[in-house]
A and B are shown apart, each in its own frame.
Chain A
Amino acid sequence: MSFSFRSDNRLPQTRLAVVSYIIVGMIGLLLLGFWKLQVIDSDKYGQMAEQNRVRSIPIIAPRGRMLDRDGRVLVDNRPSFSVLLLRDDPKLVEQYLPVISDGLGISMEDLHEQLQNTRNLPKFQPIVIKPEASSADLDFIESHRSDIPVLEMLSVSRRRYLPGGFLGHATGYVGEASEQQIEASNGKLRPGDVVGKSGLERQYNDILMGTDGMRRVVVNSVGKEMKDMRLTEQEAIPGKQIQLTIDYDLQQVAEQSLGARPGAVVALDPRTGEVLAMVSRPTPDPNDFAVRIPKEEWRQLNEDPLRPLLNRAIQAQLAPGSVYKIVTATAMLEDHSISESFTTYCPGYGTFYGRQFKCWVYSSKKGPTSHGTTDLHDAILKSCDVFFYTVGMKLGIDRLAYYSDKMGIGHKTGIDLPSEEAGLMPSEPWVERVFHRKWYAGETISVAIGQGAITTTPLQLARLIGGIASGGVFKQPHMLKDAQNVAEVKFPLSEHTFEKITDGMYGVINEPGGTGGQLKLAGIELSGKSGTAQVIGYATRERMGKQKKFEDNAWFVGYAPKRNPEICVAVLVQESGQHGGEAAGPVVRDVVKAYYDKKNHKTSGTSTVTADQHESAPARSAAVVAPVVALKPEEPASAPAHTSERDPNPQ
């Protein structure tokens, strides 16, 4: 069957031409579309392709170590793994969250909270959902590598500190950078970076902290890493190590000698300002903070009335008690307004401005006694309050404030640790500024024996006594061994003053009747001054009244040798209920002895506590020979449950 086609073969040429134009127009439109994508928006899509392709995994730079003055490691790192969650694809994350929660043992609420907290970070940046992965966690991730594409392991190094909080307050601890720190760092820090949070970790963070590197891997469309496609790797630059002035041996003796009692020990070399040991009790173990502090634990630490986070060596601002009498004595000799042969009669109390002020000897354990007639030397030896009341009254607060100020009371020592406190030296301008009233002359009487509004830190006292015993050269305390240009304050004392004062402090320990008689060390010119300070000062007393019983704080600041000392140790034992010489003195003696043992090439750390050990220092000799880790609280039951520091901001 054949069909007859139209014989007329005229073709619709116009309409064919229209079709050609349509074709050209169509191709033109498509090209415009490509032009938009490939030329105009090319950069944007280029970045998107790169984000598709490249997964960046940080390489954590290890922090620098901390060494002691002899190169022994005090703080180093240990390897560890963190679990990362890749958040590029929110849908995938949501999908796998229950499996992850189950497999890693993290609650769904916790995971959701972490995601919520990091929602403002760029999507391609993974977040740490478990900082410390157990080996079971690692197995879980490894075995689900192909079917859970949103998990990744991150090799990290964790801080390792000596156990039991050894040197913990000085070293400080590390943690994830806070928002404020990130903001203040001018882009140097990113969320999740580990930085020093306190102590030396914070002070020398820039040195200790390295620069994290970046491992960039190519991943295909199902998230599989393409091992054969190498990208340039940005290597991590490890942090630099720092060498401290701390002497591990002395530190160990100081830690053990103070034991679990709340308080502080600071050992300085007054010739250089080097800090040889620094202890503060109670102390948390910074290893507990090396990963992430659980909220509850952090809350407890902050609310603990014993304030374990406080570095008492530089932050406890307490009345120095009788230790301050050295300043009063120095002022008396330097000022020349009072004869050096000036004496007082001490019947156990004195009456000034119509009010009776007791001498400590009046209320001592042996019952009301007196010091009788005392001169300056005797007064230092026996710590006679009546003598210094009188000297204080004669000098007046202006002179006391002048000398105190010159010798650093009320000023930060400038040690290379964050958050040092300055203490306070009261004065007429101070009461006018703060309380808008006149200075009561009676207040001078208290201040003259280191009571009243005056407060100091243990470090200040170590610097003060060490400086006076060095003839008035006060070196800035510091912790970094190769510190350059150590600042010093020179307040030269006359030769006469120097001799009188150092003779007095030598007598405290080495002459009959001295308050530190039990501390005598054969062959070592151990000198010093004890202090027993009432806990509450004027401000607190006004607020709290006398409903509570406050035990005294025991101080002892000792040094050796008698003049131009090599070592000066300030010890604070809080609320021991004992006198400074009894509670704090033996710690000073232990540390000084350890210093000389080491210097004379004897084995360090062995106890030489002998039979002449005073009965008032029980059980401590045992602590000296005990290993570092076996710190046993001595009086756990009697630990006071109230705030032991003065109001840190009297203003």
Chain B
Amino acid sequence: MKDAPGTRDYDWWLLAILAAICALGVIEIYSATHASGLAGMHTKQVKWLIVGFVLMFILSRIDYHLILDQAPILYVICLIALAAVLVLGNSRFGAKRWIPMMGQQFQVSELAKLIIIIVLARFFAEVRSDELDLRDLLKAGMLVGVPLALILKQPDLGTALVLLPMLAVGAFLAGLKWQHAGVFTLVGVLLVGAVFYPPVSKHLLKPYQRERITSFLHPEDDAKGSGYQLLQSKIAVGSGGFWGKGFGNGSQNQLGYIPVRYSDFIMSAWAEEQGFKGVLLALGLYMALLLRLVQNAQRAKDRAGMFLVMGVAAALGFHVLVNVAMVIGAMPVTGIPLPLMSYGGSATLFVFMAIGLVMNVRLRRFVN
């Protein structure tokens, strides 16, 4: 399987959308931090973007079939790394998520997401029938379940949850039967119900997680906790109005009322300063990105490529949904960043590497 894809085969539209989203992110990180002790954060983000771009390029050049070949080994490495974080990892904000690497703190679970995308693509591509039977479904569930449990143990509910849509989208495209889909939806609904029902949730969730749920449901009762964060985010978004307060003029943003305004709540800062028109632009770009991914999946050379691309789409789509819904107070605080806009090294690298896989699949669609 030798090939020599040319540069014109890269998805330039996809790259353009990506660049636009990154630009919005850098602009808002600058606006949110330039007047504070965090000034200069935007240049750091640009550095991460450059590193990410390079990684994307590298990853796009290695034939994805070769990568899929190594799926079992990657899976084992992933599990070992997650276990290692639990044992050796550095605690920050009460969770063990980081291990030091080349002078930087890396979030191993970001890498785990990428590997699970690969492992699931390999698994679903090997399914021999058009319909996914229960045995294969359970196997796929096991593959996701083990790393998911390890990530939950950190604890990092947000990242753990991202694995579920990857599984769901993969299974759906692999021919999930409607009955099974029905059963899993029911289980999902029950699970969400349990999380929101205090007598049950106290057995399932950590206190801080339950607090987030409570404050999501009753933000006004919790004036300074995470309910406060959601309320301040809503105030920021709402006060932006249609036209926004202008670059660097969002009081909620500039005066620090928005929690982690450069990272998880960057959409809140953006919406305050740029208004509904800015939101329209940002969400439009995300929709274009996601649809572009689906289009790439539709044109993939084989099912393995399609599963890779759709795994990426599922992960990014879920990130956007959960993060943005949190910003407008429609979902509890989960700590999921907004891909490419939120400041963060590991998360940015994950997105670029995932896009690298997508490019990889695209570059090879005409080969053979």
List A residues at the B interface (Cβ < 8 Å). 1-3, 5-6, 9, 11-13, 15-16, 18-20, 23-24, 26-27, 30-31, 33-39, 41-42, 44-46, 48-50, 52-53, 89-92, 218-222, 226
Contact = CB atoms under 8 A, between A and B. Distances in A.
A23 B295 CA distance: 12
B297 A26 contact: no
A91 B224 contact: yes
Interface stretch (B82-90, B186-194, B237-245, B343-351): B237-245
Interface string B248-268: 000110011100000000000
Contacts of B125: 5-6
B252 A38 contact: no
A38 B241 contact: yes
B239 A42 contact: yes
A31 B280 CA distance: 7
Contacts of B255: 52-53, 218-221, 226
A530 to B, nearest CB: 74
B332 interface: no
B167 interface: no
Contacts of B122: 3
Contact of B126 (A5, A27, A30, A48): A5
Contacts of A50: 239, 251
B75 to A, nearest CB: 14
A5 B279 contact: no
B317 interface: yes
Contact of B303 (A3, A6, A31, A46): A6
B69 A2 contact: yes
* B interface bracket (residues with beta carbon within 8 Å of A): 35 or more
A241 to B, nearest CB: 41
Task: Kindly list the 5 A-B residue pairs having the minimum CB-CB distance in the complex, ordered from nearest.
Answer: A45-B238, A49-B239, A221-B256, A37-B238, A220-B255
A92 B228 CA distance: 14
Given A45-B234, A48-B235, A53-B252, 6 more contacts: A5-B304, A19-B172, A37-B328, A53-B255, A89-B223, A221-B232
B330 interface: yes
B242 A42 contact: yes
A12 B256 contact: no
B240 A38 contact: yes
Most chain A CB atoms below 10 A, which of B69, B122, B238, B275: B238
Nearest to A42: B241
A394 B357 CA distance: 127
B324 interface: yes
B275 A3 contact: no
Contact of B241 (A13, A30, A39): A39
Contact of A27 (B169, B257, B286, B303): B286
A27 B284 CA distance: 8
B23 interface: no
A26 B69 contact: no
A44 B241 CA distance: 10
B170 to A, nearest CB: 11
Contacts of A39: 241-242, 276
Contacts of B240: 38, 42
B301 A9 contact: yes
A9 B303 contact: yes
B316 to A, nearest CB: 10
Contacts of A220: 255-257
18 contacts: A3-B126, A5-B125, A5-B126, A6-B125, A6-B302, A11-B298, A15-B173, A19-B173, A19-B310, A34-B328, A35-B276, A37-B234, A37-B328, A38-B237, A45-B235, A46-B239, A48-B238, A49-B236
Nearest to B125: A5
Given A1-B69, A20-B291, A222-B256, A30 B325 contact: yes
Interface of A is mostly: helix
Contacts of A23: 287, 290-291, 294, 313, 317
A219 B310 CA distance: 47
B94 to A, nearest CB: 21
Interface string B324-335: 110010100000
Contact of B242 (A11, A38, A91, A218): A38
Contact of B283 (A19, A30, A42, A53): A30
Nearest to A52: B257
A4 B287 CA distance: 35
Contact of A34 (B169, B276, B286, B298): B276
A33 B280 CA distance: 12
A2 B236 CA distance: 54
Contact of A6 (B65, B128, B173, B291): B128
Nearest to A88: B223
B212 to A, nearest CB: 18
A181 to B, nearest CB: 34
Contacts of A38: 237-238, 240-242, 271, 275-276, 279
Contacts of A26: 317, 320-321
Contacts of B298: 11, 13, 16
Nearest to B258: A221
B252 A5 contact: no
B14 interface: no
Contacts of A90: 223
A226 B255 CA distance: 9
B324 A30 contact: yes
B338 to A, nearest CB: 12
A2 B330 CA distance: 46
Given A20-B294, A221-B257, A46 B241 contact: yes
A5 B310 CA distance: 18
Contact of A19 (B68, B126, B169): B169
Contacts of A16: 173, 294, 297-298, 306, 310
B46 to A, nearest CB: 27
B239 A31 contact: no
Contacts of B308: none
B300 interface: yes
A18 B310 CA distance: 12
A37 B302 CA distance: 44
Nearest to B174: A12
Nearest to A22: B317
Contacts of B284: 27
Nearest to B287: A27
Contacts of B238: 37-38, 41-42, 44-46, 48-49
Nearest to B330: A33
Contacts of A49: 235-236, 238-239, 251-252, 257
B198 interface: no
A52 B276 CA distance: 21
Contacts of B126: 3, 5-6
A24 B279 contact: no
B246 interface: no
A31 B242 CA distance: 12
Nearest to B128: A6
Contact of B69 (A3, A11, A219): A3
Contacts of A48: 235, 238-239
Nearest to A24: B287
A26 B122 CA distance: 28
A38 B234 CA distance: 9
Given A6-B303, A19-B310, A33 B169 contact: no
Nearest to A9: B302
B100 interface: no
A3 to B, nearest CB: 6
A19 B235 contact: no
B300 A11 contact: yes
Nearest to A220: B255
Nearest to A20: B294
A485 B256 CA distance: 62
Contacts of B328: 30, 33-34, 36-37
Given A49-B252, A52-B255, A30 B321 contact: yes
B187 to A, nearest CB: 19
Contact of B172 (A15, A219, A222): A15
A244 to B, nearest CB: 50
Contacts of A41: 238
